[in-house]
Structure 1
Amino acid sequence: MCRVTQHLLLRGERVTTQLSRLGVRPGGVLLVHASMRSVGGNAGGTVDALRRVLGPEGTLAVPAFTPENSDTSRSYLDRVRGLSDEARARVRASMPPFDPATSPAPGMGALAETVRLTPGALRSTHPQTSFAALGPAAAALLSGHRRDCHLGEESPLARLYEADAQVLLLGTGFDRCSAFHLAEYRRSAPPRRRYRCVVLSDGGRCWWEYEDVALDDSDFAALGSDFVRARSDAVSTGRVGTARSHLLSLRAAVDFATGWLDARRPGGR
């Protein structure tokens, strides 16, 4: 065995041990947000370590969001800021329609893309906020993702809540914790807005517009800090690879966030 291969095997074993110590449940359902730049190593090896800890009965899920095909997304608005109307029109004309089988999700990071591209992985069909998953519960978690429901009751987040999933923030902060978005839907009278994106139809490429809850992650870092202080029993923190990481109960996070958002955002109780 060459030294490089031996090093990779030893590193994979170390990451597997760290994940087990952090509390990842064998046979459970795990939603992962990851920064491989913080974790170190390679995404494929980390996915292998996650699957070893989860075991054959466990299911690994990741976000596979695609703001790149929307002209109402933050990424689009940043991209066209300062451009002329003609230049904006060219950008819109070049935006690819969402295809769950092929559309990449570059903003979600290398680990999420590795999961999405793994043979046997499934993906939900929302053209903006799809999820990908590997494991025996993947189909049940991802089916029924309504196209006018980003991250609410008709999305995989609600199915992950029902499955008592864990959330692993692997080298990322609570500002990346998508589970908190489900709490936005569970607020009393959440604000709503219009969204628009490019999709495939029988006639080819077309724009589709719909209304949904106005998603806002600007206060998720503060929400996460308060959650850790209030529910330390539902969060474990430790090092995975070279990164400080958090493992938490998705149910506990959503339940806490629902009350927190209602108390602090305009229009709440």
Structure 2
Amino acid sequence: MRTLDGPEPPVIDETTLTREFRALGISPGEILLTHSSLRSMGPVRGESRAIVRALRATLGPDGTLVVPAFTPENSDTSRAYRQRIEGCTELQIEELRRTMPPYDPRYTPAPSMGRLAEEVRTLPEALRSDHPQTSFAAVGRLARVIVSGHSPDCHLGERSPLARLYDEGAKVLLLGVGYASCTAFHLAEYRVPDPPVQEYHCVVRASGRRTWWTYKDVALDDSDFTLLGSAFERSTTSVTAGSVGRAAARVFPLVDAVDHAVAWMTAHRPSPRQGP
């Protein structure tokens, strides 16, 4: 069949997905932090459910699949909130703030993370970390090790799943997305000398009551991650590039990415003493 724009792209099945994931160097028993855009892959029979099954089949029974399950929607210090209130009246903003739901690791969705992340998060056996804005969800042998102990005042630092992924030698899969989406780089922001800090606010449930919570943490900035990723890829042979369906894909060790990012940020980002 043909359309006005050309031939219909082939529908990818689960067997093909598993084969292509293996060709990227994803192996049984590994821990895989995955960022994805399903739209970029083209038509997939079974959609996000089939992709998750293929990833888990590739990782095998001893592997662990991890996804970001971030919830910027419950914060007024997030980019998502600023975009949401653009053009709103003070009354509309007040109503929005009054109705923003508190974070619940069991039920709060992560709509901005994409369909594959939601597929993993909603699996009956999935575990999720407790941070009210930057949680991770995981399934597999080391899921509990990865998501446990996520401190509520540490987005993506030493007391977060990213540090556990680093310790356990995880790999990163960028599936249809670029380095701008590489969450692993944020761990490096905690490891540079004197990282800048800012105040954050979000809605939580404390002692059974909905409340706004304020805390300070490292000021996260992904605006230069594309440049950082390009520099990382030029500097290493540890990145495996390929495709899954119609999507470009990259797989690389998380440790290599974080270590490179620490050195790159130290050299290229201004220190607090230097100013902007």
**How far apart, CA to CA, are the structure 2 residues paired with 1:87 and 1:111?**
32
| The structure with more helix, counted as a fraction of residues | 1
Paired position in structure 1 for 2:101: 96
- Could you tell me which amino acid in structure 2 is paired with residue 256 of structure 1? H
Deviation for aligned residue 1:97: 0.5
SS of aligned partner of 1:188: coil
Residues 1:174 and 2:176 are matched in the alignment: no
1:245 counterpart = 2:240: no
Among candidates 213, 217, 221, match of residue 216 of structure 1: 221
SS state at 1:125 partner: coil
Aligned-pair CA distance for 1:130? 0.2
Quote the residue 1:255 is aligned against.
259
Shift of 1:79: 1.0
Task: Using structure 1 for the length normalisation, give the TM-score.
Answer: 0.95
Alpha-carbon offset, residue 21 of structure 1:
0.7
SS in structure 2 at match of 1:83 = coil
Q: Deviation string for 1:183-223 (max 9, x for gaps)?
A: 00001000000000000111411000000000000000110
Alignment of 1:21 onto 2:26: no
- 1:105 equivalent to 2:107? Answer no
The one-letter code of the counterpart of 2:95 is: R
1:262, CA displacement in angstroms? 0.9
**TM-score normalised by structure 2 residue count:** 0.92
1:82 is displaced (CA, Å) by: 2.8
- Stretches of structure 2 that go unaligned for 5 or more consecutive residues are 1-9
* Structure 2 match to 1:190: 195
Supply the AA of the counterpart residue of 1:27: G
Q: CA deviation at 1:136?
A: 0.9
1:1-269 matches, cutoff 5 A: 11-40=13-42, 41=44, 42-231=47-236, 233-267=237-271
Q: How many residues align?
A: 261
Cα shift at 1:83: 2.2
Q: Which amino acid aligns with 1:80?
A: I
The 3-state SS of whatever aligns with 1:62 is strand
Residues 73-123 of structure 1: per-residue CA shift (max 9 Å, x gap): 011011112322222111111111000000000000000000000110000
The alignment yields a C-alpha RMSD, in angstroms, of 1.3
Q: Percent sequence identity over matched residues? A: 54
Q: CA deviation at 1:264?
A: 0.8
Distance in 2 between the 1:187 and 1:234 partners? Answer: 23
How far apart, in 1, do the equivalents of 2:51 and 2:87 lie?
A: 40
Question: Helix, strand or coil: the match of 1:234?
Answer: coil
In 1, Cα distance between equivalents of 2:238 and 2:191: 20
Task: Tell me which amino acid in the other structure corresponds to 2:136.
Answer: F
